[in-house]
Amino acid sequence: MTHPTFSNLRIDSDRLLGRLMSLGQDGALEGGGVCRLALSDKDKLGRDRVVDWMKELGLRVTIDKIGNLMGFLPGREDLSPVVLGSHIDTVATGGLYDGNLGVLAGLEVISVLKDSGYVPLRPIVVAAFTNEEGARFAPDMLGSAVDRGSLDLETALAIKDSDGFVIAEELARIGYAGEAEPGHIDPYCFFELHVEQGPVLEEEGEQIGAVTGVQGISWTEYVIEGISNHAGTTPMRLRHDAGFAAASVAVAARKVAEEIGDGQVVTVGVNELNPNLVNVIARSARLTVDMRNIDEQKLQQAEKRLAEEIAAICKAEGVRYTSRTLARFEPVMFDQNMVDLIADVAMEQGRSVRCMSSGAGHDAQMFAPVCPTAMVFVPSQGGISHNIEEYTSPEDIKAGANVLLQAALTKAEE
């Protein structure tokens, strides 16, 4: 239940939206949306902006060796902090809200505390984690995974993007190879406000999602090698066509999702041919498969079925293939008391609430094994995300940020 000394505090939605729009200028795309790939020049600009805001708010800023940013507000006592975190990197065709909202709502909580003079019992930390999207470097949730120790720092620093750029060098280049040890903050609990990125809240006419968990994620890259030849002269029966095999894998992936059913989703998001020419049979293909399910057994079944399909397709076409795991996370359940707290706070504030699982991956899932963790979702218009059209209304942002504020301050008094 909300605490008498802070229950009257409310976020300033104009200030929060103003910061969202300002951050959206770093990497702004023509026609709307943002491209702020992790550790790019635009990411540096966004990070600089967030660090400036943290400093303006008087937070002690630390940057760790994987580039995670943390702004620390002391509490009345030197206890483990309540952490409010998310990310500011985007996919190449990103919106203004994914990740950014969670970080800036955290800063808004701090701004409200500064304005009111109210000092919570526990410290509060606002965190922006490196490379949540996995759009440039795999795996996704990389910074939060290193922070929580589920990914080794040295391994992470050596990861390359598809052009061969190495994380350690890119961090240094943009000035964000920090000194702090990842995991230097021992969280009391973790909250992440995020746009739903799916259609459920909007379709059901509900404003707040109390997120119960995140589905498991399996990312695999396949490289298929065939024989390049002339498109006009090579009889169909003599082809070893990497492009045909890759297309067949995409069809098989859809078939596997339908076969498993029950919320199994499968996406072939990358499909690159080499050469990529109108009259040449492709010698090689690189494709990625993203599979997700809330049920680990079903996810494993989907992985096994797809592996069988790929082996059969490549054998029939007479091409070779290699596979590489880019990311693998088991489904995560959030702490029931934290989920209940979010639902209770939202209802006290007169909001309609739905308990729901997350289809997207989030930094919060890295915290769930180590401390009480939960997420607040707000509706995504048309269920659209990872798209420049991504939009959440100011009213919904205000509602979600007020739930975050009161839930976080409740925990900060424990």
- 379 touches which of ligand GLV, Mn ion, none (CB within 5 to 8 A by kind)? none
- 331 touches which of ligand GLV, Mn ion, none (CB within 5 to 8 A by kind)? none
- Token pair, residue 324, equals 């590489």
The yes or no reply on residue 143 touching ligand GLV (CB under 6 A) is: no
Residue from 84, 112, 124, 360 in contact with ligand GLV (CB under 6 A): 360
291-311 burial, b at 16+ Cβ within 10 Å, e below that, comes to bbbbbeebbebbbebbeebbe
- ω into residue 235 within 30 of 0, thus cis? no
Phi, psi of 355 (to 5 degrees): -85, 130
Least Å distance between CB 360 and ligand GLV? 4
Q: Which DSSP letter does residue 109 get? A: H
Q: Which DSSP letter does residue 80 get? A: P
Beta-ladder partners of 261: none
The dihedral through the CA atoms of 140, 385, 21, 410 has a sign that is: negative
Residue from 361, 372, 379, 400 in contact with ligand GLV (CB under 6 A): 361
Q: Which DSSP letter does residue 108 get? A: H
Total site size for ligand GLV, rule CB under 6 A: 4
Given the complex with Mn ion, which of 198 and 361 has the nearer CB atom? 361
Least Å distance between CB 303 and ligand GLV? 17
**Calpha distance 242→310 (Å, rounded):** 12
- Asked whether the beta carbons of 100 and 91 are under 8 A apart, the reply is no
The yes or no reply on residue 211 touching ligand GLV (CB under 6 A) is: no
Instruction: Using CB under 5 A, list all residues that contact Mn ion.
Output: 98-99, 360-361
Least Å distance between CB 103 and Mn ion? 10
Least Å distance between CB 390 and ligand GLV? 12
The yes or no reply on residue 133 touching ligand GLV (CB under 6 A) is: yes
The yes or no reply on residue 140 touching ligand GLV (CB under 6 A) is: yes
Least Å distance between CB 95 and ligand GLV? 12
Is 240 flagged in the annotation as binding? no
Given the complex with Mn ion, which of 211 and 409 has the nearer CB atom? 211
By residue count, the chain amounts to 414
Given the complex with Mn ion, which of 213 and 361 has the nearer CB atom? 361
**Calpha distance 70→84 (Å, rounded):** 10
* 297 Cβ neighbours under 8 A, 6+ residues apart: none
Name the binding residues for Zn(2+). 87, 98, 133, 194, 386
Residues in contact with ligand GLV by CB under 6 A are: 133, 140, 360-361
